[in-house]
Amino acid sequence: MAGRKLGLPTGVELIGKSIRIRFTWNGERRSETLAYPQTAKGIKAAADLRTQVVSLAKHGVLDEKRYAELFPASSYTAPANELMFGEYAQSWLDSLEVVNDTRGNYKGLMNNYWMPHLAALPIKAVTPMVLREVVAKTEWKSSTVKRAAIARVKAMFRAAVYDEVVDRNPAASIQLPQKNKKQVDPFTVGEAEELISWMYKNFSRCNQVFAAFYEFAFYTGMRTGEIMALRWDEIDFEKKTAHVCRIVVENQVVERTKTKYTRTIMLNSRAMAALGRAREIATARKRNGRRVSAESPFIFQPAGRSPHMKGTSTPGFHFNQAVEATSIRFRPQYNCRHTYATMCLMSGMNPAFIAGQLGHSVQVLLTTYAKWLNSANDWSELAKLEAVVIGTELVQD
């Protein structure tokens, strides 16, 4: 009679004239029939094999290839030419035409959240249920990370459908978490002026380049990485414009912007003044060239040998020093950009013009800064009511 008998090791049973072992792998119960004789020696060999399989599965090193080696006649084993999730994920990532930092971000999301669970599975075996199980048991660092990871696997499977690797996208039904709106917390004009003034008064001559840096940031709204990569030959002093076409990423100047589109911005008097101060500092450094490199093409050159600032921590340190010294409520340096945007909106400037200056779409501008756009127009809108209705004598019944 088939089935386990008394005295057999755990997970080992006799079936017909063979021996069968049972175990769990990747949350799935499996059984494999072995061509071992039903003798004490055969039963021990089956039990040893089961122990090995359970140990490999427990330590996460039992993949499809190893499984096929252990059980070459298994009905579970994927055909040798079956494409695995991990293989296609690597091919997909290699084919993307993206910059290195974006590729690194995608690679990290795939390696941290999908590959540990799916790499050894045939890509056609990845179902919506399998993906939901991975999502459910993963401890996500934040909803933003969760959203990004799900978005990447959705994109990968869209490509797989296009490549005719799978018939449909199993990730299509996986819902993205709601996108968290970043809190916009600009400085007031008074706070911005106090910070700029403090930096000019308290920083050494060389470090006053950071005061000029932040005066320029507060009055252009350019991204921190864009300002770090800005060169003198991109400034048209006659037309009072700056051409924004590169950014600093991972300590390197990269010939692109965050949105991939270059733009030319108009410079107001305060931005031009900041450039004037930066030029004075560069000239003074050139005369005292012991601690700095040769004349740099970059406008905001830090002290030392580097021709440009290599990361946001360099200006950020000096910015935080000024915030602490002035006892202004702390906000990250990126809020200089938000400060410029809100100043423009509160001044009643055209949103399309502001969006062009910032390198945003009008939709992003209106969504991000709706609060300030509304407050700039609220009283003028209420004035219409005063003029048309309240200020007019109403007809009495």
- Residues whose CB is less than 8 angstroms from the CB of residue 300 and which lie 6 or more positions away in sequence, other chains included: 209, 210, 212, 213, 216, 227, 228, 230, 278, 308, 309, 315
pLDDT of residue 151: 94
Angle at 218 between CA 274 and CA 238, to 5 degrees: 40
- Residues whose CB is less than 8 angstroms from the CB of residue 278 and which lie 6 or more positions away in sequence, other chains included: 209, 212, 213, 216, 299, 300
- Residues whose CB is less than 8 angstroms from the CB of residue 167 and which lie 6 or more positions away in sequence, other chains included: 161
pLDDT of residue 358: 92
The token pair at 318 is: 């000096």
- Say if domain 189-336 classifies as CATH 1.10.540.10: no
pLDDT of residue 101: 77
The model's pLDDT over 14-23, given as tens digits with 9 standing for 90+, comes to: 988 889 999 9
Burial 17-42 (b: 16+ CB within 10 A, else e): ebbbbebeeeeeebebbbebeeeeeb
Instruction: Look up residue 168 and give its amino acid.
Output: R
Considering all CA atoms of the chain, what is the largest pairwise distance in Å, rounded to the nearest integer?
109
- What distance in Å separates the CA atoms of residue 350 and residue 357, rounded to the nearest whole number? 11
Q: What is the pTM of this model?
A: 0.63
Specify the 3-state DSSP secondary structure of 58. Answer: helix
pLDDT of residue 259: 66
pLDDT of residue 397: 47
CA torsion, points 224, 228, 234, 238, in degrees to nearest 10? 70
Q: Domains of the chain: which residue ranges? A: 12-70, 85-162, 189-336
The model's pLDDT over 291-330, given as tens digits with 9 standing for 90+, comes to: 555 678 899 988 777 778 888 888 999 999 999 999 999 9
Edge-to-edge strands, sheet with 28-34: 12-15, 18-25, 28-34
- Say if domain 85-162 classifies as CATH 1.10.150.130: yes
Residues of the chain with pLDDT under 50: 1-4, 392-397
pLDDT of residue 5: 53
